[in-house]
Amino acid sequence: MTFFLQMLVTGVVVGSIYGLVALGFVLIYRASGALNLANGEFVIIGPYICLILMTAYKIPFIYALLITLIFSAVLGLVVERLVIRPIQNAPVVSVIMATIGLSSLLGGAVHMIWGHQTRTFPPVFPQTPINIAGVIISPVYLWSFIVVVLLLVIFSLFFKFSKMGIAMRAVADDRQAALSMGMSVKYVYAATWTIAAVVAAVGGVLLGNINGLSPTMSAIGLTVLPVVILGGLDSVLGAIVGGFIIGVVQNLAGGYLDPLVGGGLKDVVPFIIVLLILMLKPHGLFGSRRIERV
């Protein structure tokens, strides 16, 4: 039973990170209808900056984090302006390919600048694990859980009440209508990419605290695709809930079934779920039903 609980809890905390990264996908999809496959690289660039600031320049974590977030925001803006805006009206395959190209470009740059070795983060959160009813959780996980829940609340409110959030929803709903109502679609897109990059950086810093940093970590960009599909590509709540579900299922499957097939099931189970979801309920658990059926 403790094994089950431990798997469950690990799943939930890993899931919270997935949810955070998936949020970046959802934000961009909501506003521009594009799938950002370079999200994984957005996730790792932030923590690298933060790490360098903390180790090389001895800046305290909070300020380093702030600078990182500002840097990520600028990165998001630049990417939107230089790569995404010129091909806004191109077919889907081009947009997907552009973000894939972007991921290759950024990944290569990270690799060239910071090398391929894994770096450990200086301890930011307390190291002593917390023991809750026999299940051991490290404080980093607890923090990531708190951050995710916080962000979920913030973004729900943001999309519901703030002017910017409503503008984003309007643009996602119908770009031409939004344009004719006098909204600046360019501005909305830029804001979306900025916010998404910042969210990705937050997720990255938490992830870096857990596993250390290496260029291969950008693979999380693909790992969370199942999360967004499960939750629905355009649902903030879906991203978070999907993150938890995928995290838990993945860990349970890994814990119980891996010995039977010889390992590696953790990475495949999410994609099997994706195929099932796409066949049965393509808009995901919380997504709006806008897929055009033929």
Partner 1 sequence: MRNLFVRESGNYKTSYSDDMKLFGTTGAKVKALLIVLIVLALPLLVSNYWIGLLTLCAIASVGAIGLNILTGLTGQISIGVGAFLGVGGYTSAILTSTYGLSFWIALPIAGIVTALIGGLFGIPSLRLKGLYLAIATLAAQVIILFVISRWDSVTGGTAGMVLNRPSIGEFSLSSNTGYYYLCAIILLLTILYATNLIRTRTGRAFLAVRDRDIAAQIMGINLFQYKVMAFAISSFFVGIAGALLAHYTMIVSPELYSFHVSIEYLAMILIGGLGSIFGSILGAIFITLLPVSLSSIIDVLAAFAPDLYQLLSAFKDFVFGAVIILFLIFEPGGLAHIWLNMKKYFRLWPFSY
190 belongs to the binding site for partner 1 (CB under 8 A): no
Do 120 and 207 contact (CB within 8 A), yes or no? no
Tell me how far the alpha carbon of residue 256 is from its chain's centroid: 27
Q: 60, 86, 122, 259: which one contacts partner 1 (CB under 8 A)?
A: 86
229 belongs to the binding site for partner 1 (CB under 8 A): yes
66 belongs to the binding site for partner 1 (CB under 8 A): no
**Distance between CA atoms of residues 60 and 70, nearest Å:** 16
Which of the stretches 89-97, 132-140, 162-170, 194-202 binds partner 1 when contact is defined by CB under 8 A?
Answer: 89-97
5 belongs to the binding site for partner 1 (CB under 8 A): no
Q: How far is the CB of 46 from partner 1 (least distance, A)?
A: 19
DSSP for 214-254 reads -GGGGGHHHHTHHHHHHH-TT-HHHHHHHHHHHHHHHHHHH
225 belongs to the binding site for partner 1 (CB under 8 A): yes
User: Which strand (E) or helix (H) includes residue 119?
Assistant: none
**Distance between CA atoms of residues 211 and 120, nearest Å:** 8
**Could you identify the residue written with the tokens 């990255």?**
204
Surface-to-core class of residue 155, CB atoms within 10 Å of its CB (0-12 exposed, 13-18 middle, 19+ buried): buried
Which of the stretches 62-70, 80-88, 142-150, 167-175 binds partner 1 when contact is defined by CB under 8 A?
Answer: 80-88
Closest CB to partner 1 among 35 and 195?
35
Which of the stretches 43-51, 68-76, 147-155, 276-284 binds partner 1 when contact is defined by CB under 8 A?
Answer: 276-284
153 belongs to the binding site for partner 1 (CB under 8 A): no
Which pair of structure tokens corresponds to residue 140? 């980093």
- Fill in the DSSP letter of residue 86: G
Closest CB to partner 1 among 49 and 227?
227
Q: Give me the residues that bind partner 1 (CB under 8 A), please.
A: 35, 83, 86-87, 90, 92-94, 96-98, 100-109, 111-112, 115-116, 215, 222, 225-226, 229, 233, 261-262, 264-265, 267-268, 271-272, 274-275, 278-279, 282, 291-294
